[in-house]
Chains A and B, each alone.
Chain A
């Protein structure tokens, strides 16, 4: 584990960094410098950053070291997906349309960690408008593989020890899937619990701010800052959890290594004392993935009206001609109403079902990351949970045939976010140390 006292600062967890900075054995400047050194070495290959100004980051760290102001993340660096507005860094949303865009304020996902003392290192690469068309980022475990998307740069930078914490967003599978592909911990809270102000809209009824780190404890710390709530360390549950092993209606889309990892983890957790029950989503959720796609498609030509109006030629075919905008133009407002009502029914049924378990154990992605950078992979195991607004946590759990990371996903009843992290801590401990 990266807790050894001689580890370079960029390898330490956020919890450990905060402890050492508070104790005076590390400075924010030394931490940021260590992250910048790592980035300098690795960025030519990984290409995780859309904006990174080392002088700006160091100046912020020095100011933090001089300031007497406390905070749970004092001196800890973080990255934010370039779909968020920042007052002192450009915001490009992964689109050439927004070259030179300088917002006038910080998104809350930038402002609140900064309030807690964190240092914003830079902006991480997003696919075009947090959609499908990929950016340049490569998977840090092997650059011939996709890091996943749309929060590509956040997942890759955390996975590569460039930064301990990063912010992403999920509309389909854009936090959980890239986190799993890059071998990090990803957390998508219940819809609406992390403040969305300053996040460029993709699909309002789905867009969820999420967090990435390398441990569940770090996620809990980051979460407190992002929600402006008191920080409480996650607690190991008093008894082993009761988990639903949910293969989902999309099991035939899973790759062999995804299936094998999930089954092996279930075995391992059962051996550790967990009660594992095979259980599938209730029938009201049968078409939940299709409902998610409808929401997303319907909103696309409306939310992207500014770009369609003035810069349609600069939109990718992945979004426009072959993508959600074309699909959304075929949907009527009545289709949208129907989808929304179906989602309401599905959510109520899913809440009743999930209430019977401490958490749901399922896949975060079909398997390991796809080869090549042309596609960020399949969100089929994510869209359903996003539409159900349930909190999701992915943990690294194994390797695929090419040595690429494979994860598992834990999901809890909506608004049971805190308990999900406690269960996540238990699962993380029983999966054992990695790296």
Chain B
């Protein structure tokens, strides 16, 4: 029998629902794993008694709701009323929010328990936290949702919440060899999540199986659970190398080309989708929006606690963002809108885009969480994205493939991803 902490969220929910598993036993198994693997440093707040108390309360209540007592890890830029929220910054040491973020409340209302807070980079930007990659501690787990990706990959919790402004859900999920999902922009409420860039920030989910996504998504939308359709016809796939292609290493380029061939051989129609001008510069427009908005949304931190902001955030994001002319920002906003319309038209001919999840394996060392280019494009596009684990690279670390769906076509993306996953597994 599989140890409880190794069950996927969907498997655990089924067993919790049938009574084959209690929330307390599941939480206990997760906590034991977390204690045993403390050196992954995935958690910034983990109080075993607090987690167990919630699990016991769920058991006593009969494990109601879609999530039936499932423990979830919450990225530490998301407010929790009963746990500190530090935003990965010394400025917020000991910060105790008054209320839960909307996403936390929605998960609790669906019967989930909050296991603890997972490590984030400083303000979900680039200055790294302490977390290591569970596959090899000499490598980064990626960021900014570092702790959620590492904890899920290491079987310390079945699912975690992350956020993505550039590449902060999909990239760490790929680096840690798990499933990551960034929904269509505007779907998941961001109330109570530390705001970085209002045109970009997107709440996402990190888990170990595609089947985990429907119940978690339903809980976060306060809507019904749509099961993945595994009898869907082969999707029309757009091979999209994207303007970031040259940044991908040989193993990742080969993985994407090989995957495209495999999927074509499996019955999918594969065509190429190429970016045309002016969208070949789309990363520059993402950078302008990200810097301009972060420089203003982090005004309090920048102005009142400048000495406690990391030099890398201050000098490469906030200062350039302050200096960027308003007209350059507005131009980027308007080009991004044209880009979204262009992309929406491209989805008339394809169901899903196949593209790298990251430039390669996780980089060595903990100084950088890696290059977000393969993600920033799609964060700006407001399209739903899923990363699936896809073998390992030259250093034996995980690789992922990313599938991008049409905006608001999240459920169809899951169906296509299931088809792709089944063909890539063969």
Seen from chain A, the residues whose Cβ lies within 8 Å of a Cβ on chain B are 87, 97-98, 101-108, 110-112, 114-115, 192, 195-198, 200-201, 204-205, 227-229, 299, 301-310, 332-333, 336-337, 340-341, 415
For the complex, what is the distance from the CA of A227 to the CA of B330, rounded to whole Å? 13
State in angstroms the CA–CA spacing of A337 and B406 once bound together.
12
Interchain nearest-CB distance for B26 vs A (Å): 22
Q: Binary interface profile of B, 119-150, with partner A (CB < 8 Å = 1, else 0)?
A: 00000000000000000000000000000000
Q: Please, what's the 1-or-0 string for B307-345, where 1 marks a CB less than 8 Å from any CB in chain A?
A: 000000000000000100010001001100000000000
Q: Chain B residues with Cβ under 8 A from A299's Cβ?
A: 189
CB-CB < 8 A to B199: which residues of A?
192
Interface residue B109 (Cβ < 8 Å from any Cβ of A): yes
- Would you mind naming 16 contact pairs between A and B with Cβ atoms under 8 Å apart? A87-B300, A97-B99, A108-B297, A111-B304, A192-B333, A195-B198, A201-B192, A228-B299, A229-B326, A301-B222, A302-B189, A305-B105, A309-B100, A309-B108, A332-B223, A336-B187
Bits for B280-322, please: 1 = Cβ < 8 Å to A, else 0. Answer: 0000000000000101111111011000000000000000001
- Counting CB contacts under 8 A, is B77 at the interface? no
Interface centre among B95, B191, B301 (most CB of A within 10 A): B191
- Measured CB to CB, the closest approach of chain B to A349, in angstroms, equals 13
Besides A201-B102, A333-B223, 9 other CB < 8 A contacts? Answer: A97-B99, A201-B191, A299-B189, A304-B102, A306-B81, A306-B191, A310-B99, A310-B100, A310-B105
B221 within 8 A of A: yes
- The CA of A115 and the CA of B295, in the complex, are separated in Å by 13
**Given A196-B297, A228-B295, A302-B222, A308:B105 Cβ within 8 A:** yes
Q: Is there an interface contact between B105 and A309, defined as CB atoms closer than 8 Å?
A: yes
When the two chains form the complex, which single residue of A111, A201, A336 contacts B303, counting CB atoms closer than 8 Å? Answer: A111
**Given contact pairs A103-B98, A105-B300, A337-B408, A308 touches B109 in the complex (Cβ within 8 A):** yes
B106 contacts A by Cβ under 8 Å? yes
| Size bracket of the B interface | 35 or more
Contact B221 A306 (CB under 8 A): no
Report the bound CA distance from A299 to B186 in whole Å. 10
Q: Is the CB of B330 within 8 A of A309?
A: no
Asked if B109 and A115 make an inter-chain contact with CB atoms under 8 angstroms apart, the answer reads no
In the complex, whether B101 has a CB less than 8 A from a CB of chain A is yes
Q: Do A201 and B190 contact each other (CB < 8 Å), given the known contacts A227-B326, A228-B295?
A: yes
| Distance, CA A340 to CA B408, complexed state (A) | 10
Interfacial chain A residues near B223, Cβ < 8 Å: 332-333
The answer to whether the Cβ of B195 comes within 8 Å of any Cβ in the partner chain is yes
A-B pairs, 8 with minimum CB distance = A201-B191, A197-B297, A195-B296, A305-B105, A111-B299, A306-B105, A337-B408, A111-B300
Chain B nearest CB from A71 CB (Å) reads 11
A333 to B322, CA, bound (A): 37
Contact between chains at A227 and B300 (CB < 8 Å): no
- Min CB distance B286 to A, Å, is 15
Most buried by A among B95, B301, B330: B330
A204 x B299 contact (CB < 8 A): no
Q: Which residues of B contact A (CB under 8 A)?
A: 81, 92, 95, 97-102, 104-106, 108-109, 186-187, 189-192, 195, 198-199, 221-223, 293, 295-301, 303-304, 322, 326, 330, 333-334, 408
CA distance A53 to B95 in the complex (A): 24
**Residues from chain B with Cβ under 8 Å of A228 in the complex:** 295-296, 299, 322
Interchain CB contact under 8 A, A306 and B296 = no
Q: Is the CB of A108 within 8 A of B300?
A: yes
Q: Which residues of B contact A333 (CB under 8 A)?
A: 187, 221, 223
Contact of A196 among B195, B304, B326 (CB under 8 A): B195
Residue of A nearest to B410 (CB): A333
In Å, the complex CA distance between A192 and B292 comes to: 11
Once the chains bind, are A98 and B98 in contact (CB under 8 Å)? yes
- Residue of B whose beta carbon sits closest to that of A304: B102
User: In the docked arrangement, what's the CA distance between A277 and B334, Å?
Assistant: 28
A303–B104 Cα distance when bound, in Å, is: 11
Tell me the smallest distance from the CB of A298 to a CB of chain B, in Å.
Answer: 10
Which of A104, A197, A305, A341 contacts B299, CB < 8 Å?
A197
Cα A310 to Cα B98 with chains together (Å) = 12
Residues of A contacting B330 in the complex (Cβ-Cβ under 8 angstroms): 415
Cα separation A200 to B330 with both chains bound (whole Å): 25
Pairwise interchain contact A108-B333, C-beta atoms closer than 8 A? no
Q: Is the CB of A305 within 8 A of B334?
A: no
Q: Which residues of B contact A340 (CB under 8 A)?
A: 186, 408
**How many angstroms from the CA of A303 to the CA of B191 in the assembled complex?**
6
> Residues of A contacting B195 with CB < 8 Å?
196-198
* C-alpha gap A120/B157 in the complex (Å): 44
Cα–Cα, bound, A304→B192 (Å): 10
Q: Bound state CA distance, A340 and B102, in angstroms? A: 21
Judge whether A305 and B293 touch: CB under 8 Å.
Answer: no
A324–B295 Cα distance when bound, in Å, is 33
Q: Measured between alpha carbons, how far is A102 from B97 in the docked complex, in Å?
A: 9
Q: Which residues of B contact A336 (CB under 8 A)?
A: 186-187
Contact of B189 among A112, A204, A341 (CB under 8 A): A204
In whole angstroms, what is the CA distance A341 to B333 when docked?
18
State whether A306 touches B408 (Cβ < 8 A): no
B300 neighbours in A (Cβ, 8 Å): 87, 105-108, 110-111, 197-198
Known: A302-B189, A306-B105. A105 touches B301 (CB 8 A): yes
Measured between beta carbons, the chain A residues less than 8 angstroms from B301 are 105
In the complex, which residue of chain A has the Cβ closest to the Cβ of B85? A104
Inter-chain CA distance A200–B334, complex, in Å, is 27
Q: Which B residues are in CB contact (< 8 Å) with A98?
A: 98-99
Residues of chain A contacted by B221 (CB below 8 angstroms) = 302, 333
Contact A108 B296, beta carbon cutoff 8 Å: yes
Please report the C-alpha to C-alpha distance between residue A178 and residue B81 in the assembled complex, in whole angstroms: 34
- Docked CA distance A227–B108 (Å): 37
A303 to B189, CA, bound (A): 6
- Residues A305 and B297 in contact in the complex (CB < 8 Å), given A111-B303, A115-B303, A192-B198: no
List, in ascending order, chain B residues with CB within 8 A of A302's CB: 102, 106, 189, 221-222
Q: Which residue of B lies closest to A196 (CB)?
A: B198
The distance in angstroms between the C-alpha atoms of A310 and B99, with both chains bound, is 9
Q: Give every chain A residue within 8 A of B299 (Cβ-Cβ).
A: 106, 108, 111-112, 115, 195, 197, 228
